[in-house]
Chains A and B, each alone.
Chain A
Amino acid sequence: MEATKGRVLCVDDEPHVVRALQWLLRKDFEVHAATNAADALRLLTQFDFDVVMSDQRMPGITGVEFLRDVRRAAPRAMRILLTGYSDLDAMVRSVNESEVYRFVTKPWNIRELPLLVAEAVEIARQAPAVVPDADVAQEAVDSLAAPVGPGAVSHRPTLVAMRAGESILLIDDDEGVRRSMHDVLGADVRVRHAGNLAEAVHALDDGAVSVVISDVRVGAVDVTRLIRLMKQKHPEVVTVVFSGVKDAQVVMDLINQGQVYRFIPKPFKPGFIRLIVDSALRRHRQLADTPEVRRRFQVQAAGEEAKVSLLRDVERAALAFAGGGAPGAGAFADGGTDAGPGLLGRLSGGFRRLFGA
């Protein structure tokens, strides 16, 4: 039955690559191939593709740019970027502009790639398409490239009004970032702040968090594990990650295992954050209102060891926090003195609820 086969478009300027992909996928899918973006876009108008897989480096256009066009032209198609280059800039743009489903590196695994494509086909067919929010998201993307000027600061688009039960969780240990975030978002936006992993777990467990804004690291601790693990269980939570660290692997994991909504290299403009938060909130509502859409942002399971190491770091953070007798410790220990086992017990409870451990 030809109709039931997923329809896949493979784009790569190297003909040997598309031939190889055709041989690999032709048994299970209806594979179309193009060796340049123009041919590929023409094919897009002729067929309704489930999955579009593109190389990053092509003459005249990058894969990210091509997939951005695909996102507009065929919003139903799941986008996969296939590249031999761990080009950080391309990765960041693949998050922010193309909202790729997966980032696959060459040489690919011939057992996993067909499974990934199959999964993508299934999602494309079952989950409703997410039409790009052209007004806000594109504006945000454009302002990324726009030069910093007086206009950029004065430009304060109105945020969508927050609904009851919605809140934003900011995970960062930098007081300056926290303050500027508060200044930018204004008093009408509910922002909870977590300065360490324990606080973050507590906040996530405690109330309905719509959007998580986080640095890659808090102190020396990797936060992306938390984001990845959380996204696995709570796909409706939209995550925005910012970082001054240039590490392609981190971004790749955030895409594949965290379906991070936006990745923002530091330093960033305040007005930009406002736009991002606004569009993240919209995305969260889409996900919250239409659970079927969530499948489109399904993550690849993070390893079990990530969960174990995260729990260990959370406990360590909690102990350091309680032991230090910091003012905010009351958030965990109501009595203030029974920090030890009670606190940990509650935390691991929260951890289990959150991550299903």
Chain B
Amino acid sequence: MSAVAMRLPGLAKRDAAPVDPDAAVAKAHGPSGPAKFRLIRYFAIASLVAFAVVAGVFAVFELKQGDFFREVQDREGAFFSLTQDQFVKKQEEAALRDLLSIHEAGNVNLTRLFANALWERDFAPFVAKAAPISVDHCRAMEDVKDAKGKSAAPPEKKACFAEVGKRIMALPGFREIDAKVIDSMKKTSVFKVKVFDLRGITIYSSEHAQIGEDKLFNAGWKKALAGTPASELTHRDKFSAFEGVVENRDLISSYLPVLAPGSNRIVGVFEVYSDVTPFLAQIRDTSRQIKVGADANRQKVRLVSEENQRKVDEAASVQVAALLAVLAALFGVLFVIVRRADRIIESQAEDREHAHQQLAQSEKMAALGQMVAGVAHQLNTPLGFSKNNVALAIDQLGQFETPVKVACKMSELVRSTAGDRIVLDVGRARAQLEGINASADDVVAVREMLGDVLTGIDQMSELVVHMRDFTRLDRARVSEFDVNEGLKSVVYLARSVIPNSVEVTEAYGPIPQIVCTPSQLNQIFLNLIINASQAIEGDGRITVSTREERGFVRIDVADTGSGIDPAIAERIFEPYFTTKPEGVGTGLGLNIARDIARAHGGDITVDSAPGHGATFSVFLPIGSAAEAGRAA
């Protein structure tokens, strides 16, 4: 009982709002509860999200791969380009270096020849003649810094040196030397020749204006003075050559030491400008061609790289597209499968629901059928003796015919006779009168027989009244109901079904009427009582009692039967759970009972100890559910 007591508060707290009990029962039985699993929707959403993620990841991966490929290509291209550039540059530098060294070597030889030819006889004396011309006063002049901060000779210093040049040119023999130099250089690639003395003063220049210039600080001159020829490639827009001013020429100027013939002693410095414009042009042309080739290669590489990139990108796109197509196809196929599955599941659920309803109906019919059969048989007893008695009474009445006729005749005679004496001629009627064997006891017997018939009819009408009270088909479906009265009818009818070895005790307490669906409650009670009788083997007792308890009407159906194994006690209210043999019970009886009780805002519980019977308790709310019941 403690289990029941513990459950009660929870029960009371229940939001007892049963709408239509029938609808509530139907709903409780429905295979699709309130939280229906929408298979197709959930599948579609989940798989679309999953596929989108897969497709996204794949696309990003492909994109990254494209970027990586591009990066690699770019790096390769840059490396290639650099190599090409360096190659071209190196080639040009080598060519220029070669050109320079070839010309330097040429100039050195030329200077040797020149020195051999001119120095001893012409320049040496001339240098000696110029030696006395002092330049110290010019050199003493301070250099000035120009706007760029570079120290340069001021104009008066330049003029001073120019004055020195004029004095040198005024020296005797200058014209001869000049003529010889120009003569010997004519038609060569040498454009200019200068001669410096050991002081660094320009003693001779084929460009006369430069005679007298100071080269003391010139790196080329210094190098040559130290014994090493120094050459430099320069480009001049205008250049005063032997044969006039030339424009836009590439020149190699070489400072060359002049050795005294037959010795290694440096006696002066030559500066020779030789024209390398054609060579340089050729070198440049070669370089340009190489560069063009390199550019073409680079272009080709770039194109190939672009083509590769395009192919890679295209392949990536194709792969992404293919993946999308596969995923879409997969989704389509899965969707079709799931939709088909969903339909099958739905139709199975419908079938199950249908089967369930049929079973529930057959469960109801089984209980009712059992009861109807019991009632029909129970009718046979009053029917049997009533029929017997009526037939016998009719027979007996036949025996009374003659005595009654005789009595009537006597009465007539008495009335028509004034005196106290009547004379009967017995002779004629003796045979008839002697045949009378009815006694006054027989009349009493007939009265008793018919009295019993009346009792039989009362029994039969009692049964009919209880049957009407049980079904209540002629009453409002939801109404005020005295549960005790209902139980009396149910017990009365159940007695016809349950074995005589089972005693049914009724102990009804004072309980208020409740608003409910009486026919459904009667169904529960009949079910519980029949169940109880089935739990009893041989002799036993069923006790049906009612009482009011904490706002509920409590109906207990207790039996002295086998009891319920605790292992299955939890499950007995589950649908399709039955301990009866296959084909005997549907396993829905208690399930339906609980649904009905709950639809009324109540509940049903069981308390049992194996071997000591079981007590099923139905709780029906007195107040709140009554209101809800009225609303239904």
* B-chain residues with CB within 8 Å of residue A16 when the two chains form the complex: 382, 385, 452, 455-456
A44 within 8 A of B: no
Interchain CB contact (< 8 A) of B381 among A19, A24, A84: A84
B391 to A, closest residue via Cβ? A110
As a 0/1 sequence over residues 96 to 117 of chain A, the CB contacts with chain B under 8 angstroms (1 = contact) are 0000000001111010000000
Give bound CA distance, A24 to B380, whole Å: 17
Task: Flag if B380 contacts A20 (CB, 8 Å).
Answer: no
- In the bound complex, what is the Cα–Cα distance between A110 and B377 (angstroms)? 19
CA distance A106 to B385 in the complex (A): 9
Contact A24 B392 (CB under 8 A): yes
Query: A111's closest neighbor in chain B, by CB?
Result: B391
* B189 to A: closest C-beta gap in Å: 133
* Cα-based distance from A84 to B496 in the complex (angstroms): 11
- For B387, the chain A residues whose CB sits under 8 A away are 107, 110
Chain B 432-451 per-residue mask, 1 if CB under 8 angstroms from chain A, else 0:
00000000000001001100
* Docked complex: B50-87 residues within 8 A CB-CB of A: none
For residue B605, CB closer than 8 A to chain A, the reply is: no
Asked if A84 and B392 make an inter-chain contact with CB atoms under 8 angstroms apart, the answer reads no
Is A58 a contact of B449 with CB atoms below 8 Å? no
Within 8 A of A (CB), among B376-424: 377-385, 387-389, 391-392
- Give Cα A62 to B452, complex, Å: 25
Q: Given A16-B455, A21-B388, are A85 and B445 neighbors across the interface (CB < 8 Å)?
A: no
A23-B383 in contact (CB<8A):
no
Contact check: which of A19, A62, A84, A107 meets B378 at CB < 8 Å?
A84
A11 CB to closest chain B CB (Å) equals 13
Name the residue of chain A whose CB is nearest to the CB of B390. A110
Contact (A60, B500) CB under 8 Å given A23-B445, A107-B388 = yes
Q: Could you say which residues of chain A place their CB within 8 Å of the CB of B445?
A: 23
Pick from A20, A84, A86, A110 the residue with the most CB of B within 10 Å: A20
Q: Which residues of B contact A85 (CB under 8 A)?
A: 377, 380
Is B234 in contact with chain A by the CB < 8 A criterion?
Answer: no
Chain A: CB-nearest residue to B379: A84
Complex Cα–Cα for A110 and B386 (A): 11
Q: A23 and B377: CB pair below 8 A?
A: no
Residues 17-56 (chain A) with a chain B CB within 8 angstroms: 17, 19-21, 23-24
Cβ contact of A19, chosen from B391, B452, B500, cutoff 8 A: B452
Residue among A58, A60, A107 with most chain B CB within 10 A: A107
* Interface assignment of A14: CB less than 8 Å from any CB of chain B: yes
Determine how close the nearest CB of chain B comes to the CB of A28; give it in whole angstroms. Answer: 13
Considering the chains assembled together, what is the distance between the CA atoms of A341 and B531 in angstroms? Answer: 60
| A234 adjacent to chain B (CB < 8 Å) | no
Contacting pair B377 A20 (CB below 8 A): no
Nearest CB of B to A172, in Å = 24
Which residues A62-112 have CB closer than 8 A to chain B?
62, 84-86, 105-108, 110
From residue 494 to 531 of chain B, which have CB atoms closer than 8 A to chain A?
Answer: 500-501, 503
* Chain B residue at minimal CB-CB distance from A15: B452
Q: How far apart sit A58 and B501, CA to CA, in the bound complex (Å)?
A: 8
Kindly provide the distance from the CB of B446 to the nearest chain A CB, expressed in whole angstroms. Answer: 9
The residue from B380, B392, B448, B539 contacting A107, defined by CB atoms under 8 A apart: B380
A42-B375 Cα distance, complex, nearest whole Å: 32
B452: A residues at CB distance < 8 A: 16, 19-20
Contacts of B382 in A (CB 8 A): 16
CB neighbours of A107 from chain B (8 A): 380, 383-385, 387-388
Compute how far the CA of A102 lies from the CA of B174 in the bound complex, rounded to whole angstroms: 181
B residues within 8 A CB of A108? 384, 388
CA distance A24 to B385 in the complex (A): 10
Query: With an 8 A cutoff between CB atoms, is A219 at the interface?
Result: no
> In the complex, what distance in Å separates the CA atom of A108 from the CA atom of B385?
8
| CB neighbours of B500 from chain A (8 A) | 57-60, 62
**Complex contacts, A110 vs chain B, CB 8 Å:** 387-388, 391-392
CA of A234 to CA of B85 in the docked complex: distance in angstroms? Answer: 133
Closest B residue, CB atoms, query A20: B385
| B interface, over-half SS | helix
**B359-387 contacts to A (CB < 8 Å):** 377-385, 387
Question: Given A84-B378, A86-B377, A20–B384 Cβ distance below 8 Å?
Answer: yes
Question: Do B389 and A20 touch (CB < 8 A)?
Answer: yes
Which residues of the other chain, A, contact B539 by a CB distance below 8 angstroms?
Answer: 60
Q: Bound state CA distance, A16 and B449, in angstroms?
A: 9
In the complex, the chain B residue whose C-beta lies closest to that of A57 is B500
Q: Smallest CB–CB gap between A289 and chain B, Å?
A: 40
Chain A residues, CB < 8 A from B392:
20, 23-24, 110
- CB-nearest residue of chain A relative to B502? A59
Task: Check if A23 sits within 8 Å of B380, measured CB to CB.
Answer: no
* Complexed CA–CA distance, A16 and B386 (Å): 9
Within 8 A of A (CB), among B275-307: none
With known contacts A23-B392, A58-B500, A106–B449 Cβ distance under 8 A:
no
- Report the bound CA distance from A57 to B502 in whole Å: 12
Which residue of A19, A57, A84 contacts B448 across the interface (Cβ within 8 Å)? A19
Considering the complex, give the chain A residue whose CB is closest to the CB of B448. Answer: A19
Q: Is the CB of B378 within 8 A of A20?
A: no
Query: Known contacts A23-B445, A62-B500; is A14 also within 8 Å of B377 by CB?
Result: no
Chain A residues in 8 Å Cβ range of B384: 17, 20, 84, 106-108
Q: Which residue of B lies closest to A104 (CB)?
A: B384
On whether the beta carbons of B388 and A84 are closer than 8 Å, the reply is no
A20-B452, A23-B445 known; A14 vs B501 contact (CB < 8 Å): no
> How distant is the Cα of A20 from the Cα of B452 in the complex, in angstroms?
8
CB-CB under 8 A from A86, the residues of chain B are 377
**Residue numbers in A under 8 Å from B388 (CB-CB):** 20-21, 23-24, 107-108, 110
Query: When chains A and B are docked, how far (Å) is the Cα of A107 from the Cα of B456?
Result: 12
Bound CA–CA A105/B539 (angstroms)? 25
- Specify which chain A residues have a CB less than 8 angstroms from the CB of B449 in the assembled complex: 20, 23
Minimum Cβ distance to chain A for residue B167 (Å):
157
Write out the residue numbers on chain B whose beta carbons fall within 8 Å of the beta carbon of A105: 380
> From B389, which residue of chain A is reached at the shortest CB distance?
A20
B498 to chain A, nearest CB (A): 11
Query: What are the residues of chain A within 8 A of B391 when measuring CB–CB?
Result: 110
Cα-based distance from A222 to B466 in the complex (angstroms): 41
A57–B500 CA distance with the chains assembled, in angstroms: 6
**What is the CB-to-nearest-CB distance from B249 to chain A, in angstroms, rounded to a whole number?**
131
- CA distance in complex: A333, B374 (Å): 53
How far apart are the CA atoms of A106 and B379 in the complex, in Å? 9
B496 to chain A, nearest CB (A): 9
Determine the distance from Cα of A85 to Cα of B388 in the docked complex, in whole angstroms: 18
Bound: A162/B385 CA distance, A? 49
- Minimum CB–CB distance for A295 against chain B, Å: 28
Within the complex, the shortest CB–CB distance from A143 to chain B, in Å, comes to 19
A21 to B391, CA, bound (A): 12
CB neighbours of A19 from chain B (8 A):
385, 448, 452
Interface string of B598-611 (1 = CB under 8 A from A): 00000000000000
Set of chain A residues within 8 Å of B381, measured between Cβ atoms: 14, 17, 84, 106
CA distance A242 to B445 in the complex (A): 47
Residue of A nearest to B449 (CB): A23
Q: How far is the CA of A110 from the CA of B382 in the complex (A)?
A: 15
* Docked CA distance A62–B499 (Å): 9
Distance (Å) between the CB of B483 and the closest chain A CB? 27
User: Which among B391, B500, B503 has the highest number of chain A CB atoms within 10 Å?
Assistant: B500
- Given A19-B452, A106-B381, A107-B385, 20 other A-B contacts at CB below 8 A? A16-B382, A16-B452, A19-B385, A20-B385, A20-B388, A20-B452, A21-B388, A23-B388, A23-B445, A24-B392, A57-B500, A59-B500, A59-B503, A60-B501, A84-B377, A84-B378, A85-B380, A86-B377, A106-B384, A107-B387
Closest 9 CB pairs of A and B: A84-B380, A107-B384, A20-B385, A106-B384, A106-B380, A20-B388, A85-B377, A84-B377, A16-B385
Q: Can you list 17 contacts pairing A with B, beta carbon distance less than 8 Å?
A: A16-B452, A20-B385, A23-B388, A24-B388, A57-B500, A58-B500, A59-B500, A62-B501, A84-B378, A84-B380, A84-B381, A85-B380, A106-B380, A107-B384, A107-B388, A108-B384, A110-B392
Residues of A within 8 A of B (CB): 14, 16-17, 19-21, 23-24, 57-60, 62, 84-86, 105-108, 110
